[in-house]
Structure 1
Amino acid sequence: MEKSFLADSIRLSKVGKALRRTFELWGYEEVILPTIEPYDEGIKGGTKFAYNNEFYIIKPDVTSRLIKNYEITEGRLYYIGEVLNGGIRGKWQAGVELVGGEPASMTAEVLSVLITALESLGIEEFYIDLGGLEVWRRATADIREFRDTVWRALERRNFGLIEKLPISEEKKERLWRLFNFRGKSSDYERLSRILELVDDDRVFVDLGTVRPLPYYSDVIFEVYSPKLGKPIGGGGEYLFREKPAVGFALDMKALLGLVGDRRHRRRYLRGVNSFKEARKLVSMGIPVGVER
């Protein structure tokens, strides 16, 4: 077990290293958050515990804790870390957050960061589905009393919940078409604009795509690989203290499954016979291997 844990940790570190390099090439800066936050209903995920008659959360969802507890006027941030969800075993995530700017351009940038991050790991076979919450708000404007059921149907990918609603067959048919729509264009101008800006054949509009986290404001997305049966990541737009923001998180364990045993090659100089010489080379950014 220990050997497997160490081997996986080394592979995880290599994946994180490649992602860090990509994020920083896009101008994102790493943020390192504390392990524990004071409990707040607005912070999602994490494992709750009590200490000195106060409640706290261990390693909760990054986006919701940033929104609740931190002041960010604008900027590009990234993180790599473990997130818990009620238990003691967590999920390692890597993600970015972009705060402030023109929303369509921001989403296109974040999607571009996502694409190049996957490519930096040698993952070329993937696709990204874009959805729009505003599309469904408009579609359910005349059946507001059933919105919660429609959202549940979308989250579960179960149209049967909508079929049971006491609404007209014509309305069900319109919702069915939205529920199953997937293509390279959309009547919703915001999604079409983002597709145009990103300009990548692996990005589609899928109006049935939703994500359960409550802070998303409109455009959301998920990234899939045909080699896995579940999303390897996702994200979307949200408001950060009334400022537009957008981000994503990648499941690093899923990435490990796609990367496999691919090795990140790096050349090391041999023949260095003193630590003094080695220190000089390293200070110049040159990798070394000291003879022993």
Structure 2
Amino acid sequence: MRENFKELPMGVRDYLPGEAALRRYLENIFVELVAREGFQEVVTPSFEYYETLRESQSETDLIKFVDRTGELLALRGDMTTPIARVVSTKMKHRELPLKIFYAATVFSGNFSGRNKLREFKQLGIEVFGDITSKLESDLIKLMAVYLRKAKVKNLEISLGHVDILTGLIEEYELFNHFSEIKDALNQKDYVALEGIFERAGKSQTVRESLVDFLQQRGGKAILKKAKKMLSHPKAKKALEELEEVTEYLISAGVRELKLDFSLVRDLNYYTGLVFEAYTPYLGYPLGGGGRYDTLLKKFGWDTPAFGFALGLERIVESIANSIDK
């Protein structure tokens, strides 16, 4: 071996037999579960045209390269956009709802903070067609069932809706600050959030009221408070949808729920209900998902969709942390 040999670049790793076996076991549980529910697997290329993938992710999140023909390509950063492309161009004439699953490696150009890896595996499902509140709750329950089977301890599922924030921004005329508000919420940085509202010219009373509202997390009781505060039609409709899905989930035996008015997720294609799965044995989400009604239109098929993705490495890490403690 040469003296200056470098074993691996930052953000990638090897998996030795014990951990590789656990990963395979957890993947097999997922595949068997979703296949029984009627989901069919789709496999897409690891890289596509950069312009296709940038529909859902920022330039810094994608690993780009130019091939020998001069085409600008990128490694896929998530699976939702490639799946949306496939079903829009090759499967839209099939019977609806169309139920797809995947177990695929994805890549990230931004591996700072909670994104420790540049290469990681996602387990996920996507449904296309008539998306009802009952179907949304069934899919969230499916995620919860899988995570229980995977022996994830102290699971918590946070539910939110992007139109709660959209309604607030329109009602309080915060259009020019949308991106930075969303960034602050994703980081749970409420000090920065109040600073944004101050720069937007909002009074101290309004600032404090907005920050207090967006920090609300809890059960169905917080919906009553929200209904009193929110008057924008979009936000009120979002609360109704959130309440309906919550009631379905509780009646279906999913008790690990927390409503979170600040939950917006960090991908830009979500248009409705959003959710994330957590455990105290991991400092970031196991995964999450939500509704996206406009992404497929970019590929020529105007239909609503709903899905979720879980990080296999994150599940493994949470299990290891729970055993250690």
1:189 matched to which residue of 2? 240
Shift of 1:261: 11
1:171 aligns to what? 206
Quote the Cα distance in structure 1 between the aligned partners of 2:48 and 2:263: 31
> Computing the radius of gyration over CA atoms, which structure comes out larger, 1 or 2?
1
Q: Which amino acid aligns with 2:189?
A: N
Distance (whole Å) between structure 1 residues aligned to residue 257 and residue 149 of structure 2: 18
Aligned mates of 2:50, 2:177 — CA distance in 1: 32
Name 2:285's counterpart in structure 1.
Answer: 231
Partner of 1:86: 109
Aligned CA-pair RMSD: 2.4
Partner of 2:126: 97
Query: TM-score, normalising length from structure 2?
Result: 0.74
Which one has the bigger strand percentage?
1
Counterpart in 2 of 1:108? 137
Which has the higher mean CA deviation after the structures are superposed, 106-115 or 164-173? 164-173
In the alignment, the residues of structure 2 paired with residue 174 and residue 106 of structure 1 have an alpha-carbon distance, to the nearest angstrom, of: 34
2:57 is the counterpart of 1:57 = no
> Mind listing any 5+ residue stretches in structure 2 that lack a counterpart?
1-6, 8-12, 111-116, 228-238
1:15 equivalenced with 2:15 (yes/no):
no
Matched residue SS, 1:110: helix
C-alpha distance in 2 between matches for 1:91 and 1:231: 14
Aligned to 2:160: 131
**Secondary structure of residue in 2 paired with 1:27:** coil
Counterpart-to-counterpart distance in 2, 1:257 and 1:150? 30
SS in 2 for 1:139: helix
Partner of 1:287: none
CA shift at 1:84, angstroms? Answer: 0.4
Counterparts of 1:116 and 1:67 in 2: how far apart (Å)?
A: 25
Letter in 2 for 1:129: S
Contact 1:47/1:86 (8 A) holds in 2: yes
Match for 1:60: what amino acid? Answer: G
What's the TM-score, normalizing by structure 1? 0.82
The one-letter code matched in structure 1 to 2:66 is A
Match of 2:83 in 1: 66
Aligned twin of 1:150: 181
- What is the CA–CA distance in structure 2 between the aligned matches of 1:195 and 1:258, rounded to whole Å? 26
Counterparts of 1:3 and 1:238, CA distance in 2: 34
**Residue in 2 that maps onto 1:250:** 310
Q: CA deviation at 1:17?
A: 0.4
What code does the residue aligned with 1:56 have? Answer: L
Greater share of residues in helix: 2
Considering Cα pairs closer than 8 Å and 6+ residues apart, tell me whether 1 or 2 has the greater RCO: 2
SS in 2 for 1:243: coil
> How many matched pairs?
262
Residue-by-residue CA offset, 1:212-255 (whole Å, 9 max, x unaligned):
10000121111100121111111111023332211111111121
1:47 aligns with one of 63, 66, 77: 63
Provide closer, same or farther for how the CA distance between residues 173 and 14 of structure 1 changes in structure 2, counting only shifts above 3 A. same
% identity of equivalent residues: 22
Deviations 1:147-200 (A, max 9, x none): 333222212211222322221122212212221111222241110000011112
